[in-house]
C-alpha cells in the first residue's frame, strides 16, 4: 500500500526555496533541506528524486512568486518607465526584513556559472530570456527606437538587472537608486 504524504509539496518547496535563496545551491545540503522542509530524506527522494529535483521545483516556485513583479511589467504600456518601475519593484521584492537577498536566479547564475546541470541552466536561461522579452516588449512601445536599438537595449537591461540583483546584496539604498537612475539615463 502506497504511503500518503503528510505534507503539502508547495509548502515544503516554499521552505526549501528560502534555504536555497539564503545559502545557495551548492552550500545547501540535504540535511539542511530536511530540517527546513520538516520532512525526512526518504520523503525528499521519494517526492523530488534528489537535491537537484528540489531545487528545480524551488526555481519554479520562485518564478510564481516573482510574478508579483513581472506581471505588472508584462501588462505595462509605459515603455521605459514600466521597466524602471520593474527595477524598483524588484528591490522591494528581494527584501527580507531589512536585508536584501538578491534574485534567486541571479544568485544561482553567479554561483554555478555555465558548468551547472543542464536542467538548472535551462531554468535560469528561460527566466532571463522571459524578462528580457518583457523589456523588449516595453522598449518597442517607443516608436523612435528601431529593431537594432531595441535588441541592444534589451541586452543592456537584462545585464543591468543581473548587476542590480548582485549589487543589491551589498550596496546601500542610495547606491542602488543611483545605479537604476544611471541605467535609465543611458537609454
pLDDT digits (tens, 9 = 90+) for 64-100: 999 999 999 999 999 999 999 999 999 999 988 777 8
pLDDT reported for residue 100: 84
**Which of 21, 187, 14, 3 has its CA nearest to residue 100?**
21
Which segments of the chain belong to CATH 1.10.10.60? 9-62
Q: CATH 1.10.357 in the chain, residues? A: 66-185
Q: What is the pLDDT of residue 60?
A: 95
What is the architecture, at CATH level 2, of domain 9-62? Orthogonal Bundle (1.10)
Give yes or no for a contact between 105 and 19, defined as CB atoms under 8 angstroms apart.
Answer: no
Q: Are 52 and 30 in contact (CB under 8 A)?
A: no
Q: Considering the domain delimited by 66-185, tell me its CATH architecture.
A: Orthogonal Bundle (1.10)
Distance of CA 153 to the CA centre of its chain: 20
pTM above 0.85, yes or no: yes
Q: Write out the H or E segment, with its range, that includes residue 105.
A: helix 104-112
According to the model, what pLDDT value does residue 1 have? 46
Kindly give the parts of the chain with pLDDT less than 70.
1-5
95: part of which helix (H) or strand (E)? strand 95-96
Q: Which region holds residue 39: left if phi is over 0, alpha if psi is between -120 and 50, else beta?
A: beta
Amino acid at each position: 500500500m502506497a504511503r500518503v504524504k503528510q505534507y503539502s509539496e508547495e509548502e515544503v518547496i516554499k521552505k526549501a526555496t528560502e534555504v536555497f535563496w539564503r545559502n545557495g545551491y551548492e552550500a545547501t545540503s540535504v540535511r539542511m533541506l530536511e530540517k527546513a522542509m520538516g520532512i525526512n530524506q526518504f520523503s525528499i527522494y521519494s517526492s523530488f528524486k534528489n537535491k537537484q529535483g528540489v531545487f528545480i521545483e524551488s526555481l519554479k516556485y520562485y518564478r510564481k512568486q516573482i510574478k508579483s513583479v513581472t506581471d505588472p511589467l508584462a501588462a505595462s504600456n509605459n515603455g521605459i518607465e514600466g521597466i524602471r518601475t520593474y527595477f524598483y519593484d524588484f528591490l522591494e521584492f528581494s527584501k527580507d526584513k531589512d536585508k536584501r537577498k538578491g534574485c534567486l536566479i541571479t544568485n544561482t547564475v553567479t554561483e554555478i556559472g555555465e558548468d551547472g546541470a543542464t536542467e538548472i541552466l535551462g531554468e535560469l536561461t528561460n527566466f532571463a530570456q522571459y524578462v528580457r522579452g518583457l523589456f523588449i516588449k516595453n522598449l518597442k512601445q517607443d516608436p523612435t527606437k528601431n529593431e537594432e536599438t531595441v535588441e541592444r537595449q534589451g541586452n543592456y537591461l537584462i545585464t543591468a538587472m543581473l548587476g542590480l540583483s548582485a549589487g543589491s546584496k551589498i550596496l546601500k539604498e542610495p547606491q542602488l537608486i543611483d545605479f537604476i537612475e544611471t541605467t535609465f539615463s543611458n537609454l
